[in-house]
């Protein structure tokens, strides 16, 4: 049977000495993975839950690290390497269980997708036609009730009865099983009339400008946009 190894320094790290940046840790436990947990494959929920608890126990140790000196930075770098290695182990363990399943799922999906695709246009058409009908009926009922209100104001009893009859007939329940919920959808936008608060910045273009600046010492210049210089850290395995 295959075996996968995920390492943790949870218990020893939580009660170790103070290290660079003031973090409480046992460097040997954290950096050389003194505690090793082996999990038989296929993975089960209890085994993964155990590894999760160990990672949660380690979290305060890592979160206490600060970088104010070169020594702090190197220590944080070692911890980051340990973290990504644990992350890689978790992903590998997950894939060992899920990859075979995904293959089965894709095969079964390929059987059903053409059938579902064949049904979709008919379903969409029927819903569109039924929805348009319900919108027309709602408008007709509203118009009839408005006519009834006008007839009531003018004292035209005959028109009042006629309008109420029409409205009642339209509102009468049918034997149809489909449910109806009315909502609003955007049909078109007159951009020249749209208030400023409804305009959204083009973040794709803004981010593209930031990316194009690369590692330049000069920030991109876009009126209204404030850029800050950040360092993007890449963890090495």
* pLDDT score of 43: 67
What percent of the chain lies above the pLDDT cut of 90? 41
Highest-scoring range by mean pLDDT, 53-67, 88-102, 111-125, 151-165: 111-125
Which pairing describes strands 3-8 and 35-40: parallel, antiparallel, or unpaired?
antiparallel
Q: Which of 1-5, 46-50, 81-85 has the lowest mean pLDDT?
A: 1-5
Q: Is residue 23 part of a domain?
A: yes
What is the pTM for the complete model shown? 0.57
* pLDDT tens readout for residues 156-200: 989 989 989 998 988 888 888 899 999 988 999 998 899 988 999
Q: Are 57 and 21 in contact (CB under 8 A)?
A: no
Residue 212 has pLDDT above 90, yes or no: yes
Q: Which of 43-52, 116-125, 196-205 has the lowest mean pLDDT?
A: 43-52
Which H, E and C letters describe the chain, residue by residue?
CCEEEEEECHHHHHCCCECHHHCECCHHHHHHCCEEEEEECCCCHHHHHHHHHHHHHHHHHHHCCCCCCHHHHHHHHHHHHHHHHHHHHHHHHHHHHHHHHHHHHHHHHHHHHHHHHHHHHHHHHHHHHHHHHHHHHHHHHHHHHHHHHHHHHHCCHHHHHHHHHHHHHHHCCCCCCCCCCCCCCCCCCCHHHCCHHHCCCCHHHHHHHHHHHCCCCCCCCCCCCCCCCCCCCCCCC
More confident residue, 41 or 179: 179
* pLDDT score of 35: 36
Q: Is residue 193 part of a domain?
A: no
Domain count for the chain, please give it: 1
Range of the domain at 48: 3-105
Q: Is residue 150 part of a domain?
A: no
Tell me the mean pLDDT in the region 147-157: 91
């Amino acid at each position: 049977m295959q075996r996968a190894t995920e390492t943790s320094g949870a218990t020893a790290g939580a009660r170790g000495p103070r290290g660079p940046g003031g973090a409480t840790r046992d460097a040997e436990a954290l950096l050389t993975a003194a505690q090793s947990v082996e999990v038989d494959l296929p993975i089960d929920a209890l085994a993964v839950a155990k590894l999760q608890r160990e990672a949660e126990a380690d979290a305060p140790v890592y979160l206490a690290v600060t970088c104010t000196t070169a020594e702090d930075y190197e220590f944080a770098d070692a911890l980051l390497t340990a973290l990504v290695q644990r992350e890689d182990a978790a992903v590998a363990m997950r894939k060992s269980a899920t990859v075979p399943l995904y293959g089965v799922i894709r095969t079964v999906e390929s059987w059903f997708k053409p059938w579902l695709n064949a049904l979709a246009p008919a379903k969409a058409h029927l819903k569109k036609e039924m929805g348009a009908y319900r919108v027309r009926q709602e408008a007709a009922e509203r118009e009839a009730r408005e006519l009834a209100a006008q007839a009531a104001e003018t004292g035209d009893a005959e028109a009042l009865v006629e309008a109420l009859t029409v409205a009642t007939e339209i509102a009468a329940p049918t034997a149809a099983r489909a449910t109806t919920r009315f909502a609003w959808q955007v049909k078109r936008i007159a951009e020249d009339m749209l208030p400023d608060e409804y305009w959204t910045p083009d973040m794709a273009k803004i981010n593209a400008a930031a990316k194009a600046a690369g590692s330049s010492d000069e920030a991109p210049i876009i009126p209204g946009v404030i850029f800050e210089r950040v360092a993007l850290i890449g963890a090495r395995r």
